Structure 1
Amino acid sequence: MKILVTGSNGFMGKNLIAELKNQTGHEIYEFDRETSKVRLANYCKDAEFVFHLAGVNRPENTEEFMEGNFGFTSELLDLLKQANNTCPIMLSSSIQAELDNPYGESKRAGEELLKSYQKDTGSKVYIYRFANLYGKWSRPNYNTVVATFCYKIARGEEVSINDSSASIDFCYIDDVVNELLKCLNGSPSLKDGFGFVPEIDSLTIGELKDLIVSFKESRQTLSLPKLDCRIEKNLYSTYLSFLPENQFSYPLKMNVDNRGSFTEFLRTPDRGQVSVNISKPGITKGNHWHHTKNEKFLVVSGTGVIRFRKIDSDEVIEYFISGEKLEVVDIPVGYTHNIENLGESDMVTLMWVNEPFDPENPDTYYVEV
């Protein structure tokens, strides 16, 4: 399809266009503040669908609300009428259209204009009143509180909160894009005459701040967010998109001795802990067993052997492992075990354990294999 996207350089426009480009076959007409009105008129002649996302959020004076959100919409519809183009139009409005403030009034005026256009032309019109959108490519101090918090907290700046108990509905940009693609294909989600995004999550401002602070602190705690919680998963992805470009990496604490090193990488409250173990040639590590704690070992470089012995038996079981053939070895409870480097270079082993290490309850008992 030939698709016109106004506001193409904005937060929603960038994300929508990126996904439209992932789908082959579309010809996308991008319009933003820098695009000439002559080109817009040509776009309006050929467009088979219009995503009208352009608007004004934070102008220098309140008069610009009506000019940007009503005036430009009127201009766009006039160009479509002149071209006798009755293609479907999707309008990006806001939940603030229900409020009596300059921004809400300008959004509501744009909606009414589109409804009148539908009556006059018979064009299909879809009006979406979006909640607080968030995600990658949003602008701090402009689009959303999420962008502002992510940007400032990632840089160690203070964020100010007037009412930490105030609850806000949030809508993730990927869910918005998925809904807009449904609209493009003629199957929008509709309620009370408006399009809507079904996936909405609520948080208080205090909860939002605490979550984003925990993302920053996770580099020290090595903890991961709860990825089975939709908003926490999406907020973490958003936070990472705001990292300063010279701070993508962070060091880990390596516990080093003459045997090699042991470095914790990630930990979770419910999915265990991941570490990297490096053993020098000829070195044996382990010789202990657990009641409940269980592990998985994966040698990714070097060669060695993992030995097991049930603590009430004399039989020793051996598993030879190598980075040349990736193979996971389960470490069952009740077996004392060790791992020995049989090669001439360092042996690197990824180790997963079902619970983060707790020095108050280590569940680790020394017994030679």
Structure 2
Amino acid sequence: MGHFSSMFNGLARSISSMKKTKNLKKNGDGKEVVKAMAKEVKKNELILRSSGTVNVDGSNNLASAYSKREEKGVNQDCCIVWEEFGCQEDMIFCGIFDGHGQWGHFVAKNVRDSMPLSLLCNWQETLVEAAVHPDFDLGSQKKLQNIWKHSYLKTCEAVDQELEHHRKIDAFNSGTTALTIVRQGENVFLANVGDSRAVLGTPSDNGDMVAVQLTMDFKPSLPQEAEWRTQCNGRVYSLDDEPGVHRVWLPHEDSPGLAMSRSFGDYCVKDFGLISVPQVIHRHITSKDQFVVLATDGVWDVVTNEEAVQIVWECPVQGKAAKRLVEWAADGWRKKRRGIAMDDISAIVLFFHSSSSSSSHQFELVPSSSESVLRY
């Protein structure tokens, strides 16, 4: 059980002790445990927002993040890297968010800021609730998967509901995608809402680096997405000047024309099939797996999975891998999509093994907008 976080084991010991004297579910002590744990989170946060790299001393993780805005306007992409997530040495949270619409940058930042804390609280509460059952098994991979899936589902529902009632953000015609990952020991859990993508870099049997796509791009053209959306009276079709680019439209209006089938916000079409339910994926990390790339569609529009993995793998400094991938994608927009305005481009690369060439606490930070950059 060494791959489980110290919080997981410490919580288990606390619960085991408490169960001898009290019924947690009956007396509500489980929630008290959760509250106490949540307070500890605030004491030891290591969060990086915007662009840069982070590597905590002694950590096996190194995360590289970089974002580049389009030629005009504000960057509606944003990222977050939270090392020692939940004050646990073996946990890290990374997220990448792609806003759209007039208020898209505000929506993206709101979801970025609220999602990790909400997820952490829901994970802690779900863990406490699960642990009170007599058949709870700390070593069960299936149980671990169910806990994180349940936590992510609760979190995404709560975040979307809170956003809808936000007093200062108008998300009726604006929204954001969200692709996040939690590494807990030798396990990674991903949740995807929208059309960003996660790709794993791992060597094949002959030593060549190969790309394994972990998430699905939730585009309106997917048969399973289009089918139930049509059942809700929403329309999915391509414009004449955008052949092959399917969008979601209102039943009787040529609006809003969303190029994804899942997002936070965009309440104008939430009654017509658009959802914020995440695809939750679990993968056990092997000793061969090297890194996972999280990137917005601005990258994948011009870079293949295989190209992305090779670009990262050949980067001599891990901390600069995300920047190299983003710059490569920007060059791809100039060459492959001439005359088309470049999309915002953002990427996070989470390495599972830090190389000796990467120095701890050495940051290359390039602000992607007017927002202040956190330094450590």
| TM-score normalised over the length of structure 2 | 0.24
Answer 1 or 2: which has greater strand percent: 1
- Bigger relative contact order, structure 1 or 2 (CA pairs below 8 A, ≥6 apart): 2
| TM-score normalised over the length of structure 1 | 0.25
Answer 1 or 2: which has greater helix percent: 2
| Larger Cα-atom Rg | 1
